[in-house]
Amino acid sequence: MLQIDGSIGEGGGQILRTALSLSLLTGKPFCLSNIRAGRKKSGLMRQHLVCVQAAKAVGHAVVSGDELHSTTLTFEPQTVQAGHYHFSIGSAGSTMLVLQTLLPVLMMQSQPSTLKIEGGTHNPMAPTFDFVQRCFLPAVAKLGIKADVVCKQSGFFPVGGGIIEVDIQPWMDRKAHVLLERGEIRAVNAYAGSLNLDTHIAERELATLANILTLGQQHHVPLSGQGQGNTAFVEVVSEHHTEVFTALGEMGRTAEQIAKHLANQVKRYLHATDAVDEHLADQLLLPLALGKGGEFSCRSISEHTRTQAGMIEMFLPVSVRLIEGDERFSSFIQVVA
C-alpha cells in the first residue's frame, strides 16, 4: 500500500483526487494522511468526500476514513466498471472536480459511461464549467479523448443546485501531443452571464472587457438554476489552441472590477508566447501520462503542477520534466510515457 503525505506540495484536494484516479487505474491501494493539510480547513470537505464516494462506487473499493473532516483515508480498489452514474454533492461543492477524478478512469474502460453530477458548476477555487467545456476537453480531444459535458443547471456558492451531464467514450486512439507554439491569434471573444441577478451586471462586464481588449465577439450567456451568481470568461482562439480565462462575481466588487481583473489575465497571456496558461498545465499532465506522452509550453509552472507531477510519477512508470527559463518559452513541460 502506497503511503502518501497529503501535506506535500500545495497540500490541497488535488492530491486526493489524483490518488483516487491513479489507484483505480493501476490497482494500487494507498493510505493518504494529513489530507488537505495546506488548507485553512483541513480534512475531507463535502466535495472531497463525494469524490471518494464516487471513486469507491466506480471501483468497488474497500475504503476507511471516508467521512467528513477525516484527515486519513485508506483506499483499496477492486474492479473498475464503466456504467451510468449519478452523484450529488449536496452543497455548492464543485461538480468539475468530481468529473476531474472520474474522467481519467472511465475513459480508459472498454465501454462508454455517463455521469450526472449535482452541485456547483462555477466555483472560485476550481475550474468552471465553461473552462472545462471550452478549453480542457477540446485540448484533450487532440489526444484522442472523447468526452462531452452539458450544463443542465448552473450552480453558484452558497446554494449550488447545478447539474452537469457527461458522456465519456472509451479512449481507443491514443496519440502523443506536442503543443509548443499556439500560432496566430484568430479571435478574442468575451462572454458574461448572470443567474437571477440584474442582466446589467453582465452587460457592464462585457462593456469593460471591450474597452480593454480587442474583442471579436461578445455574448450574453443565458443561465438557469437556483440561487444567484455571475460569471464572465474570455476565449482566446489561436491557430493550435484555445485558452479560456474565467472570473466570478463577488460581493463587494463591481462588475467593472471583475472584468478588469479578467482582462489583465488575458493580456498577460497575449503578451507571452507560450501556448498554455498555468491553470490548464496541471490538468494536461495525467492525460499525457496515460497516453503516449507529449510536451507543451506554458506561461508558468504552478505549485499545483509540481504536485501533480510528483503524484503521477508515484503511481506510473513515466517521467515528467518541468523546465523553467527555456530559451524560447517561459516554461516547458515534457511527459515521457
**What are the tens digits of pLDDT across the range 33-89?**
999 998 888 999 999 999 999 999 999 999 999 999 999 999 999 999 999 999 999
**In this structure, what CATH number is given to the domain that contains residue 246?**
3.30.360.20
At residue 84, φ and ψ (nearest 5 deg) are -115, 115
266 with 190, same domain: the answer is yes
102 with 162, same domain: the answer is yes
Give the predicted TM-score (pTM) of the model: 0.95
73 with 94, same domain: the answer is no
239 Cα distance to chain centroid: 23
Provide the annotated active-site residues.
Answer: 304
Asked if residue 179 belongs to a domain, the reply is no
150 with 202, same domain: the answer is no
Asked if residue 227 belongs to a domain, the reply is yes
Torsion-angle region of residue 196: left (phi > 0), alpha (psi -120 to 50) or beta? Answer: left
pLDDT tens-digit map of 250-260: 999 999 999 99
86 with 72, same domain: the answer is no
Give pLDDT, residue 105.
98
Asked if residue 178 belongs to a domain, the reply is no
Asked if residue 284 belongs to a domain, the reply is yes
Give pLDDT, residue 9.
87
Specify whether the CB–CB gap between 303 and 39 falls below 8 A: no
- Domain count for the chain: 4
Vertex 180: Cα angle to 179 and 184 (nearest 5): 90
Helix (H, G, I), strand (E, B) or coil at 37: coil
202 with 217, same domain: the answer is yes
110 with 127, same domain: the answer is yes
Domain that holds residue 292: 273-337
- To which residue does cell 507554439 refer? 181
Identify which of 333, 306, 296, 320 has the alpha carbon closest to the alpha carbon of residue 14: 306
22 with 43, same domain: the answer is yes
Q: Last residue of a domain, which of 21, 49, 79?
A: 79
Q: Last residue of a domain, which of 126, 142, 173?
A: 173
For the residues 261-278, what does the mean pLDDT come to? 95
What rounded mean pLDDT belongs to the chain? 95
189 with 259, same domain: the answer is yes
Q: Last residue of a domain, which of 59, 79, 99?
A: 79
145 with 204, same domain: the answer is no
Asked if residue 180 belongs to a domain, the reply is no
136 with 57, same domain: the answer is no
**In this structure, what CATH number is given to the domain that contains residue 74?**
3.30.110
Residues above pLDDT 70, as percent of the chain: 100
Q: For residue 219, what is the enclosing H or E element?
A: strand 218-220
Asked if residue 210 belongs to a domain, the reply is yes
Identify which of 305, 296, 235 has the alpha carbon closest to the alpha carbon of residue 269: 235
**In this structure, what CATH number is given to the domain that contains residue 166?**
3.65.10.20
Widest pairwise Cα distance in the chain: 56
Give pLDDT, residue 329.
85
CA dihedral 166, 279, 52, 147 (to 10 degrees): 20
332 with 261, same domain: the answer is no
Q: Which has the minimum average pLDDT: 10-14, 187-191, 318-322? A: 10-14
Asked if residue 285 belongs to a domain, the reply is yes
Asked if residue 259 belongs to a domain, the reply is yes
Whether the pLDDT of residue 139 is over 90: the answer is: yes
Whether the pLDDT of residue 327 is over 80: the answer is: no
